[in-house]
Amino acid sequence: MYSRRVFAMARSRLGSTDLAEEITQSVFVTVARKVTGGEYEESGRFEAWLFRVAMNRIRDEIRRQRRSTVESNGHIGDLIAQDPVERVDERFGVLRAALEELSERDREIIELRHHGQLSFREIADLTGEPMGTLLARHHRALRKLRAVLESDASENEMEPLR
């Protein structure tokens, strides 16, 4: 029921289909262990808890990649560019690059809302932020994303994305 949404969010954040599958599997193994081990107490917010587990696992992977990238004197963009599956659709590449230019907080709210398909109420439960703050952050993040896309389009003499 949730695997496609967790996978979409992981793929968006990590830029790799294989890594997203691995992270998705890891998230559900962790969730199954915690549920059967009694570490999860049902309080009507399973989905928010699941996505918190997923976001934590994704953040851990991003940190791991950054550490290994610094050690090898490369860049995360180089690691992503090596995966030929990711070069299938240029538009997704443009969008992914534009998302990378946003701050971590801006990317997170866009991905929780649009990849994770969480409602603003669910995101508020997940992050502990007031609904009004989230709505404003989401609106500003989308406005920044649009500005980045339009800037890139004008630099490359492409038609702006609509």
Domain identity same for 149 and 104:
yes
Domain identity same for 12 and 78:
yes
Burial classification of residue 30, based on how many CB atoms lie within 10 Å of its CB (0-12 exposed, 13-18 middle, 19 or more buried): middle
Helix (H, G, I), strand (E, B) or coil at 102: coil
Domain identity same for 74 and 9:
yes
What local confidence, expressed as pLDDT, does residue 107 receive?
A: 87
What local confidence, expressed as pLDDT, does residue 139 receive?
A: 93
Domain identity same for 96 and 138:
yes
Given a cut of 90, whether residue 25 has pLDDT beyond it is yes
Domain identity same for 2 and 37:
yes
What total of structural domains would you count in the chain?
A: 2
**35-64: pLDDT as tens digits:** 888 877 777 678 888 888 888 888 888 888
Residue that terminates a domain, selected from 36, 58, 88: 88
Tokens at 57, concatenated: 């696992």
Domain identity same for 84 and 43:
yes
User: What is the distance, to the nearest Å, from the Cα of residue 103 to the centroid of all Cα atoms in its chain?
Assistant: 12
Query: What is the extent of the structural domain holding 50?
Result: 1-88
Side-chain half-sphere exposure of 96, counting CA atoms within 13 A: 21
Domain identity same for 7 and 81:
yes
pLDDT category of residue 73 using cuts at 50, 70 and 90: very low
Domain identity same for 77 and 135:
no
Residue that terminates a domain, selected from 88, 117, 138: 88
Tokens at 89, concatenated: 């659709």
Helix (H, G, I), strand (E, B) or coil at 1: coil
Q: What is the mean pLDDT of the chain?
A: 79
Query: Torsion-angle region of residue 128: left (phi > 0), alpha (psi -120 to 50) or beta?
Result: left
| Residue the block writes with tokens 């262990």 | 33
Residue that terminates a domain, selected from 56, 88, 120: 88
CATH number assigned to the domain comprising residue 61: 1.10.1740
What local confidence, expressed as pLDDT, does residue 44 receive?
A: 67
Domain identity same for 47 and 106:
no
**91-141: pLDDT as tens digits:** 667 777 888 888 888 888 888 888 788 888 888 888 888 999 999 999 999
115-142: buried (b, 16+ CB within 10 Å) or exposed (e) per residue? bbebebebbbbbbeeeeeebeebbeebb
Q: What is the mean pLDDT of residues 75-89?
A: 47
What local confidence, expressed as pLDDT, does residue 76 receive?
A: 47
Domain identity same for 83 and 146:
no
Domain identity same for 1 and 78:
yes
CATH number assigned to the domain comprising residue 121: 1.10.10.10
Flag the least confident range among 28-37, 78-87, 123-132.
78-87
Domain identity same for 134 and 161:
yes
What local confidence, expressed as pLDDT, does residue 135 receive?
A: 92
Query: Torsion-angle region of residue 157: left (phi > 0), alpha (psi -120 to 50) or beta?
Result: left
Our CA angle for 112, 53, 69, nearest 5°, is 80
% residues pLDDT > 70 (the chain): 77
What local confidence, expressed as pLDDT, does residue 94 receive?
A: 75
Given a cut of 60, whether residue 31 has pLDDT beyond it is yes
